[in-house]
């Protein structure tokens, strides 16, 4: 049976996972009466809740006696490391572009990587049935993008299909016909994408995805570059530099057949398979026959740009909600995550109680924290900080991002003003249809931490922001931080509605009444720029005097809800977010007010 390997790449929300659903359905991977979840490829809970793809996943369909392996990739730049590795497994790419939005920053990022390694793209204009679709302009934008990314003449001569992933059809013309379903796309893949390029010689495979299976142990997914592999065969694992990591036997080989993985008796060259039985081999390692001495070259991965401290939770409420609280447990979990995710970098501090975790962006790190908290971990995390580098002349370099904001014209003024306060430079402003403008900035990553929620407030929820790492450039200067101070609890106990009602003049609350608080925990936002210690435990004094006038009713303003991402972006350097399976609390690093004053004085002395 002949074979094709393709990746579906697109910006977040342009419809990749929905299209894969329909491809599986129309190729006969499901029975007619089989009940299938929507977005079947989004397998973990966080992906289903947020409607985004976090982990790249493979599936396979059979069309006209040809097996097509399809890889669904994440659309968020924070998970770009997944995409960079995946592209080494495929020979072609379907570039999915929204008919109204056009190519966005993430499309540019992934397409750039795909063109660089010589993949031949197929452009599919999705959501053609949108009322604001503008397919002619979008195709011109795609062509300009490919040209700007130094595509070859052959890559620029890309075939185009139009259609709707949700409705399950693609055609060579925007108007249809729609009765052929996705057959034109399948046929185009067979015509346009070459068969896998396989080498001669014994078995070799580059590890691309790592996962832990409860029954089979560590499983590595990759594409077989040459030779064949069978269960019980002896193989060895080579690191990038050619050194031997381990030798062992393959216990099982699984291949993708529809959405299920089935054991097979032999892995053939060009196929994407998962092998089990080795305990140390990881991503970017070469799995090969014992006679092979040279490792397969892996694609270089872009460096991390944001770092955070993960600290053992030392608050008075530590250990009351989670069961995994020790530094050893947190360390093991973080290093296990780093094995399968090559974009994460983990360093231990000298006191062994905290870890510096570096990644591509706040979202990637927030997803890791959310996953750990659901597994029963308790920990405290610091504010995200950017990773600086030293230039050739000894100057400090910081990460700069290309930021693309779609906003209604009436709100564009406040967006430009706020971005300039954050040291951003505007490079382009153009209309994007429907009284909306598309603003493009080059901004330091430091200035963008926490801006998402502020942008939505300023534009009444109508703006859409997309970011993409551009390069390291010289330091742009200080960026203004949070202007408000905080309200801090001065004792341990449960918050009382009456006390909170009396404190409302001081500023909005971020906790509900009846919540456990402790000394040093932040319970509200101060109206002024200084921090203030307050008592939220004080109840109403009861007397035996009755009056004819009714007692004052306590009516509290609803508190500001702190989600994990919002809290991470909002805190300052002297604050932490305490994360447990049931709660997200914000606190000062030093819970004792005297320790805080001492730390402030020593900081001033250093400055």
Written as one string, the DSSP assignment of 9-54 is E--TTSSHHHHHHHHHHHTT-S-TT----SSTT--SHHHHHHT---
- The CATH topology of domain 389-474 is Alpha-Beta Plaits (3.30.70)
- List residues forming the annotated binding site for GTP: 13-18, 126-129
The CATH architecture assigned to 486-577+585-606 reads Beta Barrel (2.40)
Angle at 32 between CA 26 and CA 36, to 5 degrees: 80
Residue 381: is its pLDDT beyond 70?
yes
Q: What is the pLDDT at residue 516? A: 92
Single out the residue of 114, 501, 574 nearest to residue 309, CA to CA.
574
* Residue 144: half-sphere exposure toward Cβ, Cα within 13 Å: 9
d(CA 605, CA 225): 60
460-507, pLDDT tens digit by residue? 888 878 777 788 888 888 887 778 889 999 999 999 988 888 898 999
Single out the residue of 237, 259, 385, 243 nearest to residue 310, CA to CA.
385
d(CA 302, CA 11): 18
3-state secondary structure 298-329: CCCCCCCCEEEEEECCCCCCCCCCCCECCHHH
* C-alpha distances out from residue 75 to 81, 99, 141, Å: 11, 17, 19
Q: Burial level of 200, CB count in 10 A (0-12/13-18/19+)?
A: exposed
Q: What are phi and psi of 434, to 5 degrees?
A: 65, 45
Q: What is the pLDDT at residue 40? A: 39
| 545 torsion bin: left (phi>0), alpha (psi -120 to 50), beta (else) | beta
Q: What is the pLDDT at residue 29? A: 52
- List residues forming the annotated binding site: 13-18, 126-129
CB 367 within 8 A of CB 399: no
d(CA 101, CA 527): 40
Per-residue tokens: 178: 């729609």
Domain with CATH 2.40.30.10 in the chain: 204-288
Domain with CATH 2.40.50.250 in the chain: 486-577+585-606
Q: What is the DSSP letter of 267?
A: B
Q: What is the DSSP letter of 338?
A: H
Residue 548: is its pLDDT beyond 60?
no
Range with top average pLDDT, 10-24, 98-112, 573-587: 573-587
378 confidence band (pLDDT: 50, 70, 90):
very high
Residue 27: is its pLDDT beyond 80?
no
Q: What is the pLDDT at residue 41? A: 41
CATH superfamily of 204-288: Translation factors (2.40.30.10)
Q: What is the DSSP letter of 227?
A: S
d(CA 76, CA 54): 8
d(CA 433, CA 450): 28
Average model confidence (pLDDT) across the chain = 82
Percentage of the chain beyond pLDDT 90 is 13
42 confidence band (pLDDT: 50, 70, 90):
very low
Q: What is the DSSP letter of 558?
A: P
Q: Burial level of 549, CB count in 10 A (0-12/13-18/19+)?
A: exposed
| 149 torsion bin: left (phi>0), alpha (psi -120 to 50), beta (else) | alpha
d(CA 103, CA 115): 15
293-342, pLDDT tens digit by residue? 888 887 666 678 889 999 999 899 988 888 888 889 999 988 888 876 76
Torsion of CA 513, 515, 519, 524, to 10 degrees: -50
Per-residue tokens: 96: 């999915």
Say how many C-beta atoms besides its own lie within 10 A of residue 593's C-beta. 15
Say how many C-beta atoms besides its own lie within 10 A of residue 542's C-beta. 5
Domain with CATH 3.40.50.300 in the chain: 2-192
Angle at 179 between CA 178 and CA 182, to 5 degrees: 70
Q: Burial level of 21, CB count in 10 A (0-12/13-18/19+)?
A: buried
139-152, pLDDT tens digit by residue? 998 888 888 888 88
d(CA 22, CA 169): 9
d(CA 190, CA 2): 10
pLDDT average, residue stretch 369-398: 88
Q: What is the pLDDT at residue 494? A: 92
Per-residue tokens: 429: 């402003």
Q: What is the pLDDT at residue 551? A: 53
Residue 278: is its pLDDT beyond 50?
yes
- The CATH topology of domain 2-192 is Rossmann fold (3.40.50)
> pLDDT: is 174 or 33 the higher one?
174
CB 606 within 8 A of CB 597: no
């Amino acid at each position: 049976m002949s074979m094709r390997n393709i990746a579906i790449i697109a910006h977040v929300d342009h419809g990749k996972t929905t299209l894969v659903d329909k491809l599986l359905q129309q190729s006969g991977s499901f029975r007619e009466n089989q009940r299938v979840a929507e977005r079947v490829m989004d397998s973990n809970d966080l992906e289903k809740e947020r409607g985004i793809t976090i982990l790249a996943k493979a599936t396979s369909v059979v069309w006209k006696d040809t097996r097509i392996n399809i890889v669904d990739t994440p659309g968020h730049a924070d998970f770009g490391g997944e995409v960079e590795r995946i592209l080494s497994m495929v020979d072609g790419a379907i570039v999915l572009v929204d008919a109204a939005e056009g190519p966005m920053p993430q499309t540019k990022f992934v397409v750039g990587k795909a063109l660089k390694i010589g993949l031949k793209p197929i452009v599919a204009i999705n959501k053609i049935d949108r009322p604001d679709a503008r397919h002619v302009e979008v195709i011109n934008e795609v062509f300009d993008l490919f040209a700007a990314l130094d595509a070859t003449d052959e890559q620029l001569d890309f075939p185009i299909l139009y259609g709707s992933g949700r409705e399950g059809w693609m055609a060579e013309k925007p108007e249809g016909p729609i009765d052929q379903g996705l057959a034109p796309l399948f046929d185009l893949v067979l015509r346009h994408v070459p068969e896998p390029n396989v080498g001669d010689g014994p078995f070799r495979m580059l590890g691309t995805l790592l996962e832990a299976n409860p029954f089979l142990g560590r499983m590595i997914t990759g594409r077989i570059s040459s030779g064949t592999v069978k269960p019980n065969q002896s193989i060895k694992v080579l690191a990038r530099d050619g050194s031997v990591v381990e030798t062992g036997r393959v216990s099982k080989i699984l291949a993708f057949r529809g959405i299920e993985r089935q054991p097979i008796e032999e892995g053939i060259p060009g196929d994407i398979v998962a092998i089990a039985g080795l305990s140390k081999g990881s991503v970017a390692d070469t799995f090969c026959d014992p006679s092979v001495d040279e490792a397969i070259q892996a694609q270089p991965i872009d460096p991390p740009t944001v770092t955070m401290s993960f600290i053992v939770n030392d608050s008075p409420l530590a250990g009351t909600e989670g069961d995994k609280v020790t530094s050893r447990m947190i360390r093991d979990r973080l290093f296990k995550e780093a094995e399968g995710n090559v974009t994460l970098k983990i360093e231990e501090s000298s006191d062994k109680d905290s870890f510096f975790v570096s990644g591509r962006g706040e979202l990637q790190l927030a997803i890791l924290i959310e996953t750990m908290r659901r597994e029963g971990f308790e920990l405290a995390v610091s504010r995200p900080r950017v990773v600086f580098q030293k230039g050739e002349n000894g100057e400090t370099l910081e990460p700069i991002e290309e930021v693309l904001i779609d906003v209604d014209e009436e709100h564009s003024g406040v967006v430009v003003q706020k971005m300039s306060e954050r040291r951003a430079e505007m490079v382009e402003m153009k209309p994007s249809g429907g009284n909306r403008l598309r603003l493009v900035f080059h901004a330091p990553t430091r200035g963008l931490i926490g801006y998402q929620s502020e942008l939505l407030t300023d534009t009444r929820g109508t703006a859409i922001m997309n970011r993409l790492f551009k390069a390291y450039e010289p330091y742009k200067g200080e960026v203004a931080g949070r202007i408000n101070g905080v309200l801090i609890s001065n004792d341990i106990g449960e918050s009382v509605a009456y006390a909170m009602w009396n404190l409302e003049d001081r500023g909005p609350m971020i906790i509900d009444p009846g919540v456990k608080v402790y000394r040093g925990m932040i319970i509200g936002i101060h109206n002024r720029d200084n921090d203030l210690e307050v008592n939220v435990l004080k109840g109403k004094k009861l007397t035996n005097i009755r009056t004819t006038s009714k007692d004052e009713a306590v009516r509290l303003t609803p508190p500001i809800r702190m989600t994990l991402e919002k809290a991470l972006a909002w805190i300052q350097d002297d604050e932490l977010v305490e994360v447990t399976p049931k709660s997200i609390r914000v606190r000062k690093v030093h819970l004792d007010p005297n320790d805080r004053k001492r730390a402030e004085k020593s900081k001033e002395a250093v400055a």
